[in-house]
């Protein structure tokens, strides 16, 4: 089906797209940075960035969504627009009246606290899965980035014998431990999004943690903001309450 318009969020390592069909339904996808994807139709109705912005005529300054357009309260000027979008989006969708915490498992794993009245209330930042794996490979002589090798799925061992799988398992456990510690300090409802979120869901569930898995939370929020009128169809995507 032909498309009406699309939005783009330029991330640190990937580009994130929202595309609206003529029926008004939004779909979401992700790609490697590639200038050719900016060409042609549908038009780019809005865009935002946390990563490097390429020079291209399609990326018009008047269509850039900036931090001051996000209705999240008390936002510092250094906050990434992806964190602001995720925090505001979780707050607007939350069925519970109270504070919450958003975990965005992307290039950087971010924890963002939002108060009951929709204000930014701090958080944590940590290197995400890929950054940690790359750092281990770059900082040692013997370890290899797991992405450079074809590996079989994890054999289920708590302590893998293969070095690449041991790296993956160690990083995932470190991220899960960080999230669990945050919940110890602030047991607010937890929202999980980002490209690496599926790798963390099962491990968090095993620890008995309840969470809302909203894979496209950031892009849904962006689309809702730039729609001419409140567009609830942008939010009509699976929300897994786990």
Its pTM stands at 0.87
Closest Cα to residue 91, out of 102, 80, 104, 81?
Answer: 102
Give the per-residue pLDDT at 228.
Answer: 63
What is the rounded radius of gyration, in angstroms, for the C-alpha atoms of the chain?
19
Confidence band for 174, pLDDT divided at 50, 70 and 90? very high
Residue that has been written with the tokens 């990937």 in this structure: 14
Closest Cα to residue 148, out of 161, 175, 128, 167?
Answer: 167
- Region 184-203: mean pLDDT is 92
In the chain the domains, ranked by start, together with CATH numbers, are 3-63 (3.30.420), 73-241 (3.30.420.40)
Q: How far apart are CA 47 and CA 59, in angstroms?
A: 7
Tell me the pLDDT of the chain averaged across its residues.
87
With vertex at residue 34, the alpha carbon angle to CA 57 and CA 239, rounded to the nearest 5 degrees, is 105
Per-residue model confidence as pLDDT tens digits over 82-99: 999 999 999 999 877 899
Confidence band for 51, pLDDT divided at 50, 70 and 90? confident
In the chain, where does DSSP find H-type helix? 81-93, 129-139, 163-185, 197-206, 217-226
Pairing of the two strands 26-31 and 15-21 = antiparallel
Active site residues: 82
């Amino acid at each position: 089906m032909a498309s009406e318009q699309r939005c783009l969020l330029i991330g640190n390592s990937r580009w994130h797209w929202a595309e609206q069909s003529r029926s008004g339904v939004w779909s979401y996808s992700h790609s490697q940075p590639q200038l050719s994807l900016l060409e042609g139709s549908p038009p780019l109705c809005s865009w935002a960035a946390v990563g490097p912005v390429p020079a291209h005529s399609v990326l018009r300054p008047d269509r850039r969504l900036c931090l001051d357009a996000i209705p999240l309260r008390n936002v510092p000027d250094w906050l990434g627009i992806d964190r602001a979008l995720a925090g505001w989006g979780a707050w607007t969708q939350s069925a519970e009246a109270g504070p919450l915490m958003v975990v965005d498992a992307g290039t950087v794993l971010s924890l963002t606290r939002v108060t009951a009245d929709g204000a930014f209330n701090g958080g944590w930042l940590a290197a995400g899965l890929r950054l940690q794996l790359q750092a281990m490979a770059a900082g040692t002589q013997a370890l290899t980035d797991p992405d450079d090798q074809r590996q079989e799925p994890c054999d289920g061992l708590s302590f893998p014998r293969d070095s690449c799988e041991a790296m993956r398992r160690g990083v995932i456990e470190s991220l899960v431990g960080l999230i669990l510690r945050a919940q110890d300090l602030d047991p607010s409802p937890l929202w999980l999004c980002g490209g690496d979120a599926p790798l963390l869901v099962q491990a968090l569930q095993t620890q008995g943690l309840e969470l809302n898995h909203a894979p496209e939370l950031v892009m849904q929020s962006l689309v809702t903001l730039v729609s001419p009128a409140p567009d609830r169809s942008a939010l009509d995507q699976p929300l897994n309450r786990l």
